[in-house]
Structure formats: C-alpha cells, structure tokens
Chain A
Amino acid sequence: MITWEHRESVGWQTSLKSIGIALALTLLLTFAALWLTTGMPLEAFWQMLTYPWQAERALTQWGKALNPAFYLSLIALGLSISYRANVWNIGAEGQFAIGSVFAFGAWLLLGMPNGLWAIPIILLSGAVGGMVWAAIPAALRTLANTNELLVSLMLVYIGAQFLFYLSNGPWEMSAAMKPVPTRTESIPDSLLFTSVFSQGPKLHWGLVWGWQVYLVVTALLAFTLLGYRLSVANQSKRAERFAGFSPVGTIWIAFLFSGGLAGLAGGIFLIGDTGYLVDQSNFLQNYGFTAIIVAFLGRLNPLGILVAGLALGYLEGGAGWLQASGLGDDSISGIIQVIALFCTLGTATLVTHRISWRGNP
C-alpha cells in the first residue's frame, strides 16, 4: 500500500532533493515537448542551452537573457511577499503598467528635464504608481471583503487601457510624421540607462541599480519583524491574530510591497528599455504574469526566485534563438514554463510529506 506520511522534520537536503526531482521531470517533459514540436529534441535542446555562445555577439545574447531575468525576479520577489501572507495579488502586470505611467507622468510634471537628478524621482513615482494600483484590490478586500484575486487580475486590463489611452491620447507625441504605433514623447537620451557592456543595449545600469532593491527587500524578509509577521500570516490566521498582527495590516503590506516592486520594475523598464510609453501590446512584456510562475518556481524564497528568474530569462532567450535558427517556434518557452511550474508544485508536497511503501497487512 502506498501512503502519504507527514514528515516530522524538514531539512534543507529534503528541499534540494525535491528540487532535483522537479528538475529531472522538467527536463524529461521538455525533451518530449521538443521532440513533438521540432522532431529533433537533442539538437533543439543544445541550441537553447548554448545560444549565448552560438551567436557572434555573446554579450548581447547574455543581455537578452539577463534583462527579462531581472524584471521577472524583482516582480516575483514582491509577489512572493504577498503569497507568503496568503494574499493573492496576481495583477502585477497592471501594477507594472501603471508604474510606467506614473514614472512617465512624473517626468512630464517635472517639466521634461534632462538632468540625472530626475531619475530617482521618476523611479520612485513608478513604485508609487504600482502601490496605488495595488491599493485598489487591498482596499476593496479589507473594506468590502471582495476577492483580491479577481479584482487584482481585472485591474490589469484597466491599467493596460490607461496606458493605451495616454499614449494614444493626451500624451501622444506631437510630430508631423507620427510613428506607428503611436507613442509618447521620448525621454531624452541623457536620462536613459546606458548599457553595462559596450555591445548591445539589453543589459543596462538600471538593472544593476535595481538589484540593490532586491537585496534590501531580501534582508528585510530575513532579519525584521516584518518578515516574521508575513511568515506567521502564511502559517495560521488564528496565530496571527493571537500574536497581535492585524490581518488587515498584513493585506495592505502584501499589496503595497508587491505593487511597489512591480511599479518600480515598470519605471526601470521605461527609462532603461523603451524610453517612451507605447500602446500596451508593444509595451507590456507579460513580465507581471510570468513572474507569478517565477515566484512559485522559486518556492517563494528570494534565492530560489533569483535562480528561477534567471532560468526563465535564459529560456526566453533560448526560445527566441530556436526560432531564429529555424528549428522551431518560440512559443515553446511558454510550454516549458508550464511544465516546470507543474513539476515544481507537484514535488513541493514531497518537502512536507514522504511516500511510504508498505505491504498490505
């Protein structure tokens, strides 16, 4: 008979083992998916694994992988704070969009400056924008007891429409020859983040500065009462109230943190990657949604999220390379993401439980 048993104690070895199993399963299923889609699983896999060395400009390729990795892990870190507290913010995509809008709005309000002093204000406004957008589901949840999952998700589409409206309406670029798709004025080059490597624009200094925020938040979770409070909220609502942590306060903390980080990512994206707002399908990169996967792949752990973010960033680049090299279609990255997610969630049970094989008595 096969039964589930609750583990008495959970060591880090157990966690590593379950991650190993998840990885092996993911690889196996990835091979199957590649075999079905390309017919040449080994060749396709090799291309996806080694693409940064395949291309002539390796550093550009690395930039392609690290750029999404940064956005994904920064947003996922915020989401993990929310999920740890059992607060389900799945609207980071919208908070990212509104973050960019606020960041751009701040630049406009400042009088379209081109001095570097404006950068902190622009980025801070991005974070505030994300918080404002996340405050809506938080307020509705705490005041009217609505479902934060639905509200935060629906606000993604409202946020995207805002972005669309502003870049096509009031904030539209005034020029004789309007570009297609329509977009706003460009932030001057002097403000834009420059590339870390001389070749290729993808890996810019904005990402490097943003990293420090990641470290600060990670330290906050590990060493402060705030982090403790969130993990208590994750474990038991009753113990949370007993400890004297207000559940309403926890919901606000979770939304403001996750929204703020998504908004900050939106601000960095604006002055690091595009330089202007443009209609949503050209601006939004799905980072907010993919970050949900990254948060769970990383088991809501800052280090894990970092690894998962890098892996998915690498995967996106690899899928692009696969398509460029004519072997397959870049939609394979979506398939592999989902495979990895299911394998990770499935094996997460192994951390707290063990399978025991016993003969029938």
Chain B
Amino acid sequence: MLSLSGITKAYGPIRANESIDLEVEGGQIHALLGENGAGKSTLMKILFGLVQPDAGKISFNGTAVKIKTPQDAKELGIGMVQQHFALFDGMTALENIRLGLTVPPENLRERIAELGNLYGLEVDPDALVLSLSAGQKQRIEIVRALLGDPMLLVLDEPTSVLTPQEADLLFNALRKLRDEGRGLIFISHKLGEVRALCDSATVLRAGKVVGTCDPRETDTDVLAEMMIGQRLSAQEKAPKSFSNAKVVLSAQNIETRDGLRLDDLELHEGEILGVAGIAGNGQDRLFALLSGEAARGTQIAGELKLRDEDLSIIPTRNRRAKGARFVPEERLGHSAIPDFKLSDNTLLTKHSAENKDNTVLRRNRWIRKQAAQIIDYFDVRGGDANARARSFSGGNLQKFVVGRELDSGLDLLIISQPTWGVDLWAASRIRQEIQLRADQGTAVLLISQDLDELMALTDSLSVIANGVLTAVRPTVEWSVPELGRAMAGELEGMVQ
C-alpha cells in the first residue's frame, strides 16, 4: 500500500532521516519503533506533508506521489493522529471535529455516533473538550481522522497519554480497522504493546533503518537491542568502588504527589550516577524534586538527604549555598532567560547566602567579571556578556549555563540532558568538565536519554520509567536487553 524508499532529511548537520525504506501493507498494523530522536516523527511528518524530504520517493497504492501539504495526504487517503492533540479546549467535541474538516458532512452528528459504535470510540459530541480525559480527546482526533475514510492511518505514540484500560479500548479499535483492510502505522517505543498489537515492525536508530521484523515472533531482548544498539561494551568506563566514599545524596522510599517513586539511592563523592530513560517518564519531576523547584508538599513519603541534612525542607537557594548545583534540560526560560544579557543571566543562580555580595545589592561589576570568566573558560562563542541569551546557539548557551554552575565549592551536581540539542564539540567539552568535577570529588547525578553518554560517563545507573526509578546498579552490570526492558517499564521485579 505504502512504500517509502531512500527518504533523507537533514537539519543542518543533523541527519534526521537517512535513506529510509519502509513498506506498509493493507490489513496490517505496522510498528515504527525507535528511541526518542531516532527519526520517527520526522519520517511521519514527511509522510503527512508537513516536512519536505531532501531526497527519496513515496509511492502510494503503486503510484509515485508527491505530498506537499497535509491536504494532499488527506486526499490520498492518509490520516494522522498526532501525539499532541490539536483541539480547542473551549469548544465541544462536535465543533472541534467540524473545524478539522474541509467539507463537513451534513449529518456529522450521526456519522460521529456511527463511527463511535462501530469501533468502540464513543464520543459525546456536546462535551466541552476541557472536561474530557486524554483518552477521550484522543478519540475525537481518531474520529476526525476516520471521517475522511483513510486507507492508511498513522498514530504517533498514541498510548503515551493513556491509562492501560484506555489503551486496551484503543487496541480493539485499531484491530477492527486493520480487519477492514486498512493499513496502520503505530509509532511507539513500548515493546510490550508493539508485540501484542503489531503484525510487522521497522526499527529506526539514529535516523536509519536498523531492520524489519515480525514483532510477534521476535524476542523483546532482540527488539530492545535493535532499538538501542549494541554499544555497551564499546566505551565502558572502568569500574570503581565507592563503598568507602562518603555519601553526598541519599534517597530512601520516596514517593511524591505527582507519582514519582525512588526506593533507594546513594550517591557518593566522586561518583557519577546516571538516570536513563525515555523522555517524558518523570525526569522533569525528578529534577524538580532534587533542585527544590517542586512545590512544597510534593514529597509525601520517604527521606531525601544532602550529607546529613533533610533536603526536603531546604529551598533551592539554600541548597545552592550548601554546595548543590543544578542544570535543567531546558535552557531558554528555565536555566537562562532569553531576553536577559548573559551577565544578567549569571546572577540568576549567584545570589545565595554564600555569594553575600549579591544578596541585597546587584554588584554589576562583579557579575560582569563572572560572566566574562565563564565565557572565557568555556569558550562560549557568538557574543560577549552583553549579548542576550536568545542570540546564542544551543551549544554555546549550554556551555555558558554549565560553566555558571560548575563553580568552586561544588559538592553535588544534578544535571539533566546536558548535551541535548548541543553540537558535538560542545557536548564533548561539557562531558569532559563533568568528568573532571567528579575526579575532584563532586557527586554527580546525570539524567540523560543518551545511552552512549551514560555508558561513557557513569559509574552506576538507574532507569526511570513511568516515574519509577529502578534499583541503582553499577553501569557495567546492566545488559542492553535489560536496559531496553527497564526503559519500556517492563523490567521484572520492578515495582510499578
């Protein structure tokens, strides 16, 4: 039904898709598997006319086609259900559906009821979208796509927002659609559901096709290895023992109101502890808990300690005064203010009790000097201390932010996705600096999606999935299949 061949798309130096071939037949649910950043979304945007490929051919039902706009895709019979819903909260389900259609049918209300009955996707047409659950909103999106009677339906990470019960209902609907002879592309990184639902699978890694297989007959371990790659042994860090080192950060039986669970974690002086996981599995909540940005009362059970002090009652500013530093994933609007000069951004984390000069007055000369030192030491390019943060590239701004936090008196560093969206050169510089601080005795907690980075840097590793952290084990003891299963939230013995 659908055949893609040689699809290539590059964003600057990053090759999001590199000569990708993909075959989907009617009457099949085809899984597109891959980690975040593997190129799944780019490929689907190309298929739906949202992005134009640099090279490659698309043929649909045996004829070569060019898809320039989503309208072209719809006319061909390709429907898409996006991961993020495009719905207006203040309008009813019916109004939302009508908005998405070029020519709404006369009997729209009846058609919605009909489709709902047929596929078990009941939608209350008069309910305001803001009152609906994620699963109900998704049904609106699916019904909207089905009204165009598509031959091929693409679903981008459809279960990421669903409860298990809602997911089961969705799978029933998808099976019915398949049995009618339609083709479906199911994008996911959850191995269990892919094995349960899909008839064939294409696995992407780093923008390339790694292989195709029948997921029903392929072992989860093998799928995980295809997805993540055989990279463990390549850059292994020499194992070190930290049993004699002092504990800097410890967490016992922590539960939070927003569903984070952390049973047992000890981070020692000089240790780099990695937290692996696919984006959106609670990394933000973990970071907020550790940095103190989480609202008071978020932690409802357990003990979080920095050295011997209960960290949960210490506000962010005082955590810094005690030698903790934090680098969040987002730069613009979180670790830096886009419209502030770099010098003003320097002050953002340098006004705690230990920087006494800045607690009342702004010492502009001191701030500018600090900024200049960071820029100089970390080789931040693209402007001086008077340039606005917005005007720097991701890599240069990240070097500045990391440099700002890696100052003297650093005891604990919590750093999240430090090289995400950063050029290779800056990434290697940042990794070097993290390692250097650890060698000097700083305890580092590194939250990352990048397994290569985690393998190269960390001494021990835990995996976060659905907000739950696995037990921490030395990095060398993790096997690839285990990692894959843990990242998919399916590791045996893991508390769910």
Cβ–Cβ < 8 Å partners of A236 in chain B:
333-334, 337
B419 within 8 A of A: no
Q: Which residue of A is nearest B347, CB measured? A: A228
Give the contact stretch, choosing among B53-61, B96-104, B312-320.
Answer: B312-320
Cβ–Cβ < 8 Å partners of B348 in chain A:
232, 239, 242-243
- Out of B293, B344, B387, name the residue touching A241 (CB < 8 Å): B293
A9 within 8 A of B: yes
Judge whether A224 and B362 touch: CB under 8 Å: yes
Given A8-B390, A228-B344, A244-B352: A239 and B362 interface contact (C-beta under 8 Å) = no
Q: Count of B residues near A, CB < 8 Å? A: 35
Judge whether B361 and A225 touch: CB under 8 Å: yes
Cβ–Cβ < 8 Å partners of B256 in chain A:
none
A264 → B minimal CB distance (Å): 23
CA distance A9 to B334 in the complex (A): 20
Interface residues of A in 200-248 (CB under 8 A from B): 223-225, 227-228, 231-232, 235-236, 238-239, 241-246
Kindly supply a per-residue 1/0 record for chain B positions 365-402, scoring 1 wherever the CB is within 8 Å of any chain A CB and 0 otherwise. 00000000000000000000001101100000000000
CA distance A207 to B387 in the complex (A): 40
Kindly supply a per-residue 1/0 record for chain B positions 290-305, scoring 1 wherever the CB is within 8 Å of any chain A CB and 0 otherwise. 0111000000000000
Judge whether B333 and A225 touch: CB under 8 Å: no
Q: Count of A residues near B, CB < 8 Å? A: 19
Given A225-B351, A228-B362: A238 and B330 interface contact (C-beta under 8 Å) = yes
CA distance A243 to B292 in the complex (A): 10
B238 → A minimal CB distance (Å): 35
B234 within 8 A of A: no
Q: Which residue of A is nearest B387, CB measured? A: A9
Judge whether A244 and B362 touch: CB under 8 Å: no
- Out of A231, A238, A243, name the residue touching B333 (CB < 8 Å): A238
B312 → A minimal CB distance (Å): 15
Judge whether B347 and A242 touch: CB under 8 Å: no
Q: Which residue of B is nearest A6, CB measured? A: B390
Cβ–Cβ < 8 Å partners of B339 in chain A:
235
Cβ–Cβ < 8 Å partners of A244 in chain B:
292, 315-320, 349, 351-352
Cβ–Cβ < 8 Å partners of A227 in chain B:
362
Judge whether B360 and A225 touch: CB under 8 Å: yes
B358 within 8 A of A: yes
Interface residues of B in 320-349 (CB under 8 A from A): 320, 326, 328, 330, 333-340, 344, 347-349
B359 within 8 A of A: yes
Judge whether B360 and A239 touch: CB under 8 Å: no
CA distance A236 to B316 in the complex (A): 16
Cβ–Cβ < 8 Å partners of B320 in chain A:
244
Given A225-B362, A244-B292: A239 and B335 interface contact (C-beta under 8 Å) = yes
A322 → B minimal CB distance (Å): 42
Cβ–Cβ < 8 Å partners of A232 in chain B:
337, 348
B176 → A minimal CB distance (Å): 43
Q: Which residue of B is nearest A226, CB measured? A: B360
Judge whether B360 and A8 touch: CB under 8 Å: no
Kindly supply a per-residue 1/0 record for chain B positions 66-103, scoring 1 wherever the CB is within 8 Å of any chain A CB and 0 otherwise. 00000000000000000000000000000000000000
CA distance A239 to B391 in the complex (A): 18
Q: Interface majority SS on B: helix, strand, loop or mixed? A: loop
Cβ–Cβ < 8 Å partners of A235 in chain B:
333, 337-340
B280 → A minimal CB distance (Å): 17
Judge whether A9 and B328 touch: CB under 8 Å: no
Choose among A236, A239, A241 the residue with the greatest number of B CB atoms under 10 Å from its CB: A239
Cβ–Cβ < 8 Å partners of B292 in chain A:
244
Judge whether A242 and B359 touch: CB under 8 Å: no
Judge whether B291 and A242 touch: CB under 8 Å: yes
CA distance A223 to B328 in the complex (A): 28
Judge whether B352 and A225 touch: CB under 8 Å: no
Cβ–Cβ < 8 Å partners of B335 in chain A:
239, 242
CA distance A239 to B389 in the complex (A): 13
CA distance A241 to B292 in the complex (A): 8
Q: Which residue of B is nearest A239, CB measured? A: B337
Cβ–Cβ < 8 Å partners of B352 in chain A:
244
CA distance A245 to B348 in the complex (A): 10
Choose among A236, A241, A243 the residue with the greatest number of B CB atoms under 10 Å from its CB: A243
Cβ–Cβ < 8 Å partners of A245 in chain B:
317
CA distance A242 to B316 in the complex (A): 7
Judge whether A242 and B293 touch: CB under 8 Å: yes
A161 → B minimal CB distance (Å): 36
CA distance A101 to B478 in the complex (A): 72
Given A224-B360, A239-B348: A246 and B337 interface contact (C-beta under 8 Å) = no
Judge whether B316 and A238 touch: CB under 8 Å: no
Cβ–Cβ < 8 Å partners of A238 in chain B:
293, 330, 333-334
Judge whether B390 and A239 touch: CB under 8 Å: no
Cβ–Cβ < 8 Å partners of B317 in chain A:
243-245
Judge whether A225 and B330 touch: CB under 8 Å: no
Judge whether B391 and A9 touch: CB under 8 Å: yes
B154 → A minimal CB distance (Å): 30
Q: Which residue of A is nearest B293, CB measured? A: A241
Judge whether A246 and B315 touch: CB under 8 Å: yes
Interface residues of B in 247-305 (CB under 8 A from A): 291-293
Judge whether A9 and B362 touch: CB under 8 Å: no
Cβ–Cβ < 8 Å partners of B360 in chain A:
224-225
A6 → B minimal CB distance (Å): 8
CA distance A357 to B190 in the complex (A): 48
Judge whether B349 and A243 touch: CB under 8 Å: yes
CA distance A51 to B344 in the complex (A): 46
Cβ–Cβ < 8 Å partners of B362 in chain A:
223-225, 227-228
A301 → B minimal CB distance (Å): 15
Judge whether A225 and B293 touch: CB under 8 Å: no
Judge whether B334 and A242 touch: CB under 8 Å: yes
Q: Which residue of B is nearest A243, CB measured? A: B348
Cβ–Cβ < 8 Å partners of B361 in chain A:
223-225
Choose among A225, A238, A241, A244 the residue with the greatest number of B CB atoms under 10 Å from its CB: A244
Given contacts A224-B360, A244-B292, could you give 8 more A-B pairs where the C-beta distance is less than 8 Å? A8-B390, A9-B387, A231-B340, A239-B348, A242-B291, A242-B328, A242-B335, A244-B320
What are 25 A-B interface contacts by the 8 Å CB criterion?
A8-B388, A9-B391, A223-B361, A223-B362, A224-B361, A224-B362, A225-B358, A225-B359, A227-B362, A238-B293, A238-B330, A238-B333, A239-B333, A239-B335, A239-B348, A241-B293, A241-B316, A242-B293, A242-B328, A242-B335, A243-B317, A244-B319, A244-B349, A244-B351, A244-B352
List chain A positions with a Cβ less than 8 A from chain B: 8-9, 223-225, 227-228, 231-232, 235-236, 238-239, 241-246
9 pairs of A and B residues whose beta carbons are closest in the complex: A244-B317, A244-B316, A241-B293, A236-B333, A235-B337, A243-B348, A238-B334, A239-B337, A225-B351
